[in-house]
């Protein structure tokens, strides 16, 4: 590799600008994985997983709750400017995730270089969505697609200046072919409508399948296909039992077999007249001819249908990582687990998904406006109020009244009347703190009294002699003053 090639590679690695160009390693690899002009179709079972959202209760409950929480997160747009100059490129902040990005933003904010952009076409697009669907619903459905089948497709609607002004959500089943190195276009099909859309006009956001990382996405619901179907079949079995069991509960037949069709019809009508209905339950039956009565009871206890459905429910919740308290399952909960459920849900379910969306927006959409923009979201994870309360109780004088009110969920007092601190009566504020000097050992020698003898020159507190009165608190740890020490040294032997 020549020096210009190494320099070009280093620059691309530094700026993150890698393109699929003829002869590049990435293009050669993708050409081997996707050799033809037709891309990958939807994964098998994609349609069933999307339809299952409307027919499978636990799939809808979990996916809807996660989608609602992700769509509720507010988004923020920033630019880094120095001294009122033009915005700067900060790829370190754009690429960072989690706490690292938050710390970098705080550092830039403390330096006075962070500018929040509150009115921008990108933020307006996230809020408005498109002409048919508002932004909240759009983001919620996009997250549901991502949880169910692992991928989401957006079609960009461009306005003045060719910048995106709207996003149209596409069903993954409509995308029947993804781009290939030889055909950079998506093939869409819905009923009789078909179209080829350039790859630049579609945003493909996915959770890759580890087996085929450059193929279609893999959703959480797809890994739970057997468990979800098991719960669905159990529900349908119970429904069919009450709707039409396809067999009688009781079989009545004459023993000698000599009864004719008319008499059998009269016996059937008589049986139903005597026993059909709520008020005829447990009524005895009398007959003048011998009959064989065979019962076919159904024992649901042996099937353990309820335990089976509860087990599949727990598996779904655990794979998705959603605490049961979030969905109202509190049969084995207490106050501590209920309080912790919201933290666990926000920390390990909602926030990781928001990080994925932020990285996709930052990479696929923001360069359409300005590559220097920095996208961020407000973390849904609330602070640990128990820890905050314990810290404030340990040092209550360090917080003003407004901070105590904020912890309790109340607004500050008007006109800054809550900017005062409580001072405990056992503590006093020290304006100029000085480290007290180390205590001086008692003096001994000629002319000085021995330990335990009365103090020299009537100096109180000398060599164990008790002081006449307690010394003030700031001087309690001090030794003799210079005047006292000089008087002792000048005393006659």
pLDDT tens, 217-235?
999 988 888 888 888 877 7
**Euclidean distance between CA atoms 184 and 22, whole angstroms:** 14
In a domain, 20, yes or no: no
Confidence of residue 39 (pLDDT cuts 50, 70, 90): confident
Same domain, 86 and 177: yes
Residue 256 included in any domain: yes
pLDDT of residue 271: 74
Structural domain ending residue among the three candidates 382, 402, 419: 382
Quick one: 177 and 164 in the same domain? yes
- Residue of 278 and 55 predicted with greater confidence: 55
Question: pLDDT confidence of 30, banded at 50, 70, 90?
Answer: confident
Answer yes or no: do 389 and 480 share one domain: no
Claim to verify: residue 219 and residue 341 sit in the same structural domain:
yes
Same domain, 196 and 266: no
Residues 330, 473, single domain; the answer is: no
- Least confident stretch, 241-245, 344-348, 403-407, 489-493: 489-493
- Same domain, yes or no: 275 and 417: no
Residue 205 lies in a domain: yes
Assigned domain for 26 exists: no
If asked whether residues 374 and 395 sit together in one domain, one would say: no
For residues 160 and 272, state if they share a domain: no
Lowest mean pLDDT among 271-275, 344-348, 393-397: 271-275
pLDDT(73) > 60: yes
Q: Is residue 275 part of a domain?
A: yes
Into how many domains does the chain fold? 4
Domain boundary among 365, 382, 399: 382
Domain presence at residue 410: yes
Closest CA relative to residue 43, chosen from 213, 188, 209, 216: 216
Domain's final residue, options 374, 405, 429: 429
pLDDT at residue 14 tops 60: no
Q: Which domain holds residue 271?
A: 248-295
Residue 6 belongs to some domain of the structure: no
Residue 471 token pair: 């010394």
pLDDT value of position 48: 87
* One domain, residues 360 and 445: no
Residue with tokens 């920033």: 78
Q: How confident is the model at residue 191 (pLDDT cuts 50, 70, 90)?
A: confident
8: in domain: no
Within this chain, do residues 94 and 182 fall inside the same structural domain, yes or no?
yes
Whether the per-residue pLDDT at 280 is higher than 50: the answer is: yes
Spell out the SS3 assignment of the chain.
CCHHHHHHHHHHHHHCCCCCCCCCHHHHHHHHHCCCCCCCCCCCCHHHHHHHHHHCHHHHHHHHHHHHHHHCCCEEEEEEECCCCCEECCHHHHHCCHHHHHHHHHHHHHCCCEEECCCCHHHHHHHHCCCCCCHHHHHHHHHHHHHHHCEEEEEEEECHHHCEEEEEEECHHHEEECCECCECEEEEEECCEEEEEEHHHEEEEECEECCEEEEEECCHHHHCHHHHHHHHHHHHHHHHHHHCCCCCCEEEEECCCCCCHHHHHHHHHHHHHHHCCHHHCCCCCCCCCCEEEEECCCCHHHHCHHHHHHHHHHHHHHHHCCCHHHHCCCCCCCHHHHHHHHHHHHHHHHHHHHHHHHHHHHHHCHHHCCCCCEEEECCCCCCCHHHHHHHHHHCHHHCEHHHHHHHCCCCCCHHHCCCCECCCCCCCCCCCCCCCCCCCCCCCCCCCCCCCCCCHHHCCCHHHCCCCCCCCHHHCCCCCCHHHHHHHHHCCC
- Are residues 335 and 472 both part of a single domain? no
What is the per-residue pLDDT for 197? 94
């Amino acid at each position: 590799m020549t020096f210009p090639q190494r320099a070009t590679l280093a620059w691309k690695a530094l700026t993150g600008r890698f393109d699929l160009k003829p002869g590049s390693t990435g293009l050669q690899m993708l050409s081997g994985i996707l050799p033809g002009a037709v891309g990958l179709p939807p994964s098998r079972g994609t349609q069933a997983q999307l339809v299952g959202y409307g027919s499978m209760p636990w799939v809808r409950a979990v996916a809807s709750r996660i989608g609602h929480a992700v769509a509720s997160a507010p988004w923020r747009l920033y630019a880094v400017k120095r001294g009122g100059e033009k915005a700067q490129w900060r790829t370190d902040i754009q690429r960072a995730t989690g706490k690292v990005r938050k710390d970098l933003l705080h550092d830039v904010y403390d330096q006075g270089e962070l500018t929040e952009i509150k009115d921008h076409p990108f933020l307006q697009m996230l809020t408005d969505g498109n002409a048919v669907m508002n932004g909240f619903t759009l983001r919620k459905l996009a997250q549901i697609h991502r949880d169910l089948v692992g991928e989401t497709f957006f079609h960009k609607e461009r306005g003045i200046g060719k910048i995106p002004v709207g996003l149209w959500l596409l069903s993954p089943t409509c995308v029947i072919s993804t781009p290939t190195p030889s055909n950079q276009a998506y093939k869409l099909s819905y009923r009789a409508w078909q179209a080829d859309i350039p790859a630049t006009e579609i945003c493909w956001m996915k959770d890759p399948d580890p087996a085929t990382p450059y193929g279609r996405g893999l959703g959480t619901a797809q890994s739970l296909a057997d468990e979800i179907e098991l719960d669905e079949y159990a529900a349908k079995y119970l429904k069919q039992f009450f709707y039409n069991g396809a067999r009688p509960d009781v079989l009545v037949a004459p023993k000698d077999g000599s009864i004719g069709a008319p008499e059998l019809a009269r016996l059937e009508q008589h049986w139903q007249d005597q026993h059909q209905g709520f008020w005829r339950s447990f009524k005895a039956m009398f007959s003048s001819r011998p009959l064989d009565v065979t019962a076919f009871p159904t024992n649901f206890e042996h099937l353990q249908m309820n335990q089976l459905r509860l087990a599949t429910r727990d598996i779904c919740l655990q794979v998705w990582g959603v605490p049961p308290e979030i969905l109202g399952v509190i049969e084995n909960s207490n106050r501590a687990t209920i309080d912790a459920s919201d933290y666990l849900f926000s920390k390990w379910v909602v926030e990781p998904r928001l990080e994925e969306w932020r990285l996709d927006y930052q990479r696929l959409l923001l360069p359409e406006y300005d590559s220097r923009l920095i996208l961020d979201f407000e973390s849904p994870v609330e602070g640990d109020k128990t820890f905050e309360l314990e810290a404030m109780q340990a040092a209550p004088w360090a917080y003003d009244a407004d901070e105590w009110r904020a912890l309790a969920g109340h607004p500050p007092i008007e006109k800054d009347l809550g900017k005062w601190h409580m001072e405990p009566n056992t503590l006093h504020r020290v304006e100029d703190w000085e480290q007290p000097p180390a205590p001086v050992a008692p003096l001994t020698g000629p002319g000085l009294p021995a330990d335990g003898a009365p103090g020299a020159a009537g100096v109180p507190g000398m060599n164990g002699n008790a002081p006449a009165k307690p010394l003030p608190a700031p001087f309690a740890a001090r030794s003799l003053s210079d005047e006292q020490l000089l008087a002792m040294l000048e005393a006659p032997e």
